[in-house]
């Protein structure tokens, strides 16, 4: 949800309706070309040409191809929030909320499936600014983690107090695993990803409930320590 600031000129063009239109046109064109030709083979020059704007204009709005992808992330994130809202407003059961949010993500991502598969080759590199783990992706990543925090706080789930502050990030990691599975899912309509969500959610729900058992406390601590060790 954190919109990065749009550069403004002295004339403030970017804030005008026409500026926003041009910006959207460049973004839509870029997404179409990424889908049709793949991310690596699409240049800023080609995007500008197809959109019918000067190359300088395209750079004015987005600075680089990477910025276009960041914008795609931001937009996907906003759409995800909007798609998840009804289930978050309606349900108080943790499992129902988690399933709703994960299915909403796949609903939003579905039209980009072909693009995602080709694009993933770039984004999976941890050193890439396009990786969901990169400093450059901090905005949409945090917004996404916040969404999983809301899954938890709006629910009636009772959680081990040591686990609670870490659970949103762990759920987000599970979500990233789901997206990875979806990227390579070749079943019709990515039906297997839905099977994965429907099977993993009751499992996570049960583990979260069991986290309050004394015997499982050390497991919780080990998981938290491992994630922390891998983050540095």
> Half-sphere exposure (CA, 13 Å, Cβ side) for 167?
23
| Class of residue 231 by CB neighbours under 10 A (exposed 0-12, middle 13-18, buried 19+) | exposed
Q: Report 43-62 residues binding a second copy (CB under 8 A).
A: none
Q: How far is the CB of 171 from a second copy (least distance, A)?
A: 17
**Residue nearer to a second copy on the CB measure, 71 or 205:** 205
Q: Is the dihedral of CA 9, 15, 16, 21 positive or negative?
A: positive
Please tell me the distance from the alpha carbon of residue 97 to that of residue 154, in angstroms, as a whole number: 9
Select from 6-14, 19-27, 52-60, 215-223 the region that touches a second copy (CB under 8 A): 215-223
Nearer to a second copy, 2 or 195 (CB): 195
- For the record, the structure tokens of 180 come out as 């990875």
162 lines the binding site for a second copy (CB under 8 A) = no
Hey, what are 137's tokens? 């992706």
Residues with Cβ within 8 Å of 19's Cβ and at least 6 positions away in sequence, in order, are 13
Pattern 122-161, a second copy, x by CB under 8 A: --xxxx----------------------------------
Question: 125 or 162, CB closer to a second copy?
Answer: 125
**Half-sphere exposure for 163 (CA within 13 Å, toward CB):** 24
124 vs 143, which CB is nearer to a second copy? Answer: 124
> 169-208: which residues touch a second copy (CB under 8 A)?
184-186, 192, 195-196, 199-200, 202-203, 206-207
How many angstroms separate the CA atoms of 18 and 129, rounded?
29
| Alpha helices by DSSP H, 52-124 | 55-62, 65-90, 94-109, 113-123
Exactly one of 55, 143, 149, 219 binds a second copy (CB under 8 A); that residue is: 219
List contacts with a second copy (CB under 8 A): 121, 124-127, 184-186, 192, 195-196, 199-200, 202-203, 206-207, 210, 213, 215-216, 218-219, 222-223, 225-226, 229-230
């Amino acid at each position: 949800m954190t919109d990065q600031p749009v550069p403004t000129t002295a004339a403030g063009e970017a804030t005008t309706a026409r500026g926003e239109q041009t910006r959207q046109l460049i973004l839509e064109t870029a997404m179409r070309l990424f889908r049709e030709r793949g991310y690596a083979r699409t240049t800023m020059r080609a995007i500008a040409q197809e959109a019918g704007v000067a190359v300088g204009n395209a750079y004015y709005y987005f600075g680089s191809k990477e910025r276009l992808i960041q914008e795609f992330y931001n937009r996907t994130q906003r759409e995800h929030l909007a798609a998840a809202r009804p289930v978050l407003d309606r349900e108080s059961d943790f499992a129902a909320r988690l399933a709703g949010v994960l299915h909403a993500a796949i609903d939003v991502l579905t039209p980009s499936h072909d693009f995602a598969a080709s694009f993933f080759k770039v984004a999976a590199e941890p050193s890439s600014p396009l990786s969901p783990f990169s400093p450059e992706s901090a905005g949409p990543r945090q917004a996404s983690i916040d969404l999983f925090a809301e899954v938890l706080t709006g629910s009636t789930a009772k959680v081990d107090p040591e686990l609670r502050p870490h659970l949103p990030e762990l759920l987000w990691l599970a979500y990233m695993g789901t997206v990875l599975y979806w990227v390579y899912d070749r079943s019709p309509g990515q039906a297997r990803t839905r099977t994965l969500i429907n099977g993993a959610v009751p499992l996570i729900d049960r583990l979260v409930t069991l986290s309050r058992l004394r015997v499982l406390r050390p497991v919780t601590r080990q998981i938290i320590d491992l994630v922390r060790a891998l983050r540095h």
